[in-house]
Structure 1
Amino acid sequence: MRVQLTIALSGLLAMPAYSAEFDLNIEIPQLKVAEYHRPYVAVWIEGADQKAAANLAVWYMSKDSKEGHGTKWLPDLRQWWRKSGRTLKVPVDGVTGPTRPAGKHALGFDGKSPQLARLPAGEYTLVVEAVREVGGRELLKIPFRWPAAAPQSGKAQGTSELGAVALSISP
């Protein structure tokens, strides 16, 4: 759905502003292993230069346990940590949260959300990274263009720590 607003600037020409919907579905598979731990997951956007442009979500163990606080293990999300995580002071409102159980998880953003509103027009890549204690690591990427001039969608299929990841953008 396209929403158009008209903004008057001191008698200058009116400029349209558009809002887009950015919907993401991430599947965490149920693994049949002796010792199961929920994965840490980072979701971010990279620019054409492969540098982090925005953090969308970071799921980690946010409470203390006998193994220490969950932030101790955030560097295990290697790609995210190198590109963005080491400079991020967690927790971050609207970005960080607890690990998620196996199943399908939906994230939704609009074009005015803080993560997307600052993105200049261009080519981007959505990146989803998952790592699990006594488990593996997986990284999936989906390219997209921002802002969306037409509906866009992309999919990636994980093989171990992630299941299907789907991105849908509507102008």
Structure 2
Amino acid sequence: MTSSKILPAMPLLAAGLVATPALAASVTITIPQVKVAEYHRPYVAGWLEPVGGGSARTVFVWYDVKKGGREPGTKWLADLRSWWRKGGNTMKLPANGVSGATRAPGSYTVPIPANLPAGQYVFKVEAARETGGRELVSVPFSVPAKGGSASGKTELGTITIR
């Protein structure tokens, strides 16, 4: 094992070598508690689309990554129909920094990519649940810094961009 010398923070800060991170935009997704006899956590995908058209950019996909047997959990991602058609069908999963396990009811915050060019966008969140419903919520926003929010009715709660 090699040892390395840790430099004190103050000289680095004074020299301007350590930059503070810029405030990044984020999206908060709320998954509501659904009162049903047989509850399954939803598969959820979130992606960005430029308002004027262009390719979609997947920001996150939550699915059953630990599913055992011959089916790896990706089989049911096609139930996220809008995301699937916008590029999910060509995405290789698991994708580092994008895919993750399904989430229990609650609120979750995900960073929006910081390298977006200035312009008008729509952030779309789609959820599909086994023995449940499917829902798509769209939130328009702009870069630089104008957020927004929208709410789902059943499978998704409030989606807020800050």
Which amino acid in 2 is paired with 1:138? E
Instruction: Give runs of aligned pairs for residues 1-171 of structure 1, distance below 5 A.
Output: 19-65=22-68, 68-109=71-112, 111=114, 117=115, 119-146=116-143, 148=144, 151-168=145-162
Q: CA deviation at 1:50?
A: 4.5
Partner of 1:21, secondary structure, is coil
Instruction: Please tell me the residue identity of whatever aligns with 2:141.
Output: F
Letter in 2 for 1:136: G
Provide the rounded CA distance (Å) in 2 between the counterparts of 1:51 and 1:38.
31
Does the Cα contact within 8 Å between 2:29 and 2:159 map onto a contact in 1?
Answer: yes
Per the normalisation by structure 2, the TM-score is 0.80
Which consecutive unaligned segments of at least 5 residues does structure 1 have? 1-17, 112-116
Q: Secondary structure of the residue that 2:74 maps to in structure 1?
A: helix
In structure 2, what is the Cα distance between the partners aligned to 1:71 and 1:166? 27
The answer to whether the Cα contact below 8 Å between 2:126 and 2:137 also exists between their aligned partners in 1 is yes
Give, in whole Å, the separation in 1 of the partners of 2:106 and 2:70: 25
Question: Greater CA radius of gyration, 1 or 2?
Answer: 2
3-state SS of paired residue (2:77):
helix
TM-score with structure 1 setting the length: 0.76
Task: Give the number of the structure whose residues are more often strand, by fraction.
Answer: 1
Q: Structure 1 pair 53/110, CA: closer, same or farther in 2 (3 Å)?
A: closer
CA contact (8 A) 1:19 1:110 kept: no
Q: Name the aligned partner's letter for residue 147 of structure 2.
A: S
Identity of counterpart residues, as a percentage? Answer: 47
How many equivalent pairs are there?
A: 142
Residue type matched to 1:159 in 2?
Answer: K
Post-superposition offset of 1:144: 1.4
Alignment partners' CA distance in 2, 1:52 and 1:130: 20
Q: Is the 8 A contact 1:51 1:83 kept in 2?
A: no
CA–CA separation in structure 1 for the residues paired with 2:134 and 2:53: 20
Q: RMSD of aligned C-alpha atoms?
A: 1.9
Deviation at 1:48, TM superposition (A): 2.1
